[in-house]
Amino acid sequence: MCGIAGIWASAAKGDPAGLGSQVDTMLAAMLHRGPDQGGRWAKHLDNSAIVLGGRRLAIQDLTEAGSQPMVDPVTGNAIVFNGEIYNFPELHRELTAMGDSLTSDCDTEVVLRGYARWGAEVVDRLRGMFAFAIWDVKTQSLFLARDRLGVKPLYYHRSPGLFAFASEVRALLQGDVTPANLSPSAIRSYLAFGAVSEPVTIIQNVRAFPPGHHGFVRSGQLELIRYWSLAEAFRPAHGKESPTELDERIQALLSESIKMRLISDAPIGVFLSGGLDSTVVATIAAANSPQSINSVSVVFKEHEFSEKLWIDRTVSHIGSTHYEVELTESELLRLIPTALPSYDQPTVDAINTYIVSMHARQAG
């Protein structure tokens, strides 16, 4: 998890130094997303300026070679990137075979060089979760993209002479990009569904960049282009598939997907609830990992709420290094004051993820 932010502004909207301070403030609001490294990059144009900033959590290539923002020495393009590209080793080899000289083992550099080679079509080659922005020096435009299912967050604000983006809504507020006016439609969504449904956000004039899209910002105007849809991706190639064929395809896709996610320079872990989905993921991950994986679970004293029996059976079966926390009512009440400020937008069930993530971090 990394944090990215940026502002494009016309000359009439503010001086470049002021934009840099705004981006610094936005990055400070997302320090929790990237504690390993941070920085910003700026370009002064004839009648405008662009500032990009990033906070990095190092997963691939833990050295300084993966620092952000990253600048392409050939094109001068600059990128800020949040996410992980699971097929980046293959893309790295492909780019190298085409004559590119890459200096790191970082997926960020692969995306940056891939954009120089393939332009916007680079997103079609990426397998993973991502949200990123590239300043294209040649076209004087900002290219943004978000992964197919919107796993990685990306929000933006647009007003005359200004375009700003960030990984979190709070960063746009802290950067004084837009006032903190609540969105009535977002409030209705929260009350109806327990969460704010994209593309609206809890703040008026802040929108979620849609999943499966990329876009160009030119002179402050955003042009969105869909590059992927779920319906098209799973349309049978030759008529209707039988239940057996669907079962085989789902198993193959799930196994391949989990195997790709085991590539990491940091320890691998899974959240294990005892339910079917996390048990399947943990079992496949353990079977394909060269070393023992870690698992983290939250359990309860109350038998009717706890799935500890199934958790214990799964841990015994896969041989994971297991970390378990028993959540009591008093512990939950104690954590609420620290959990609530961590939410970027209101949601009824985020405390579950907060607690298990907190203990995963404590376990290393």
Q: Domain boundary residue among 230, 261, 282?
A: 230
The three-point CA angle 87-90-93 to 5° equals 145
pLDDT in the model for residue 198: 96
Do 177 and 275 lie in one domain? The reply is no
Do 213 and 290 lie in one domain? The reply is no
| Cβ proximity of 256 and 202 under 8 Å | no
Do 219 and 241 lie in one domain? The reply is no
Q: Domain boundary residue among 230, 248, 271?
A: 230
| Cβ proximity of 78 and 52 under 8 Å | yes
Do 28 and 124 lie in one domain? The reply is yes
Do 84 and 216 lie in one domain? The reply is yes
pLDDT in the model for residue 60: 65
- CATH number, position 135: 3.60.20.10
Do 120 and 209 lie in one domain? The reply is yes
| Cβ proximity of 172 and 206 under 8 Å | yes
Nearest of 163, 167, 176, 151 to residue 201 by alpha carbon: 167
Do 37 and 168 lie in one domain? The reply is yes
pLDDT in the model for residue 267: 84
Q: Which residues contact 119 (CB under 8 A, 6 or more apart)?
A: none
- CATH number, position 273: 3.40.50.620
Cα 304 from chain centre: 34
Do 226 and 240 lie in one domain? The reply is no
For residue 270, the enclosing domain spans: 236-362
Give residue-wise pLDDT tens across range 257-267: 999 888 777 78
Find the helix or strand (DSSP H, E) in which 143 lies.
Answer: strand 141-146
Residues lower than pLDDT 50 in the chain:
none
Q: Domain boundary residue among 230, 260, 278?
A: 230
Do 205 and 293 lie in one domain? The reply is no
pLDDT in the model for residue 14: 63
Do 122 and 249 lie in one domain? The reply is no
* Calpha distance 240→243 (Å, rounded): 10
pLDDT in the model for residue 306: 80
Q: How many domains does the chain have?
A: 2
| Cβ proximity of 102 and 110 under 8 Å | yes
Give residue-wise pLDDT tens across range 52-88: 999 988 776 667 777 899 999 999 999 999 999 999 9
Do 126 and 194 lie in one domain? The reply is yes
* Calpha distance 3→33 (Å, rounded): 5
Do 217 and 261 lie in one domain? The reply is no
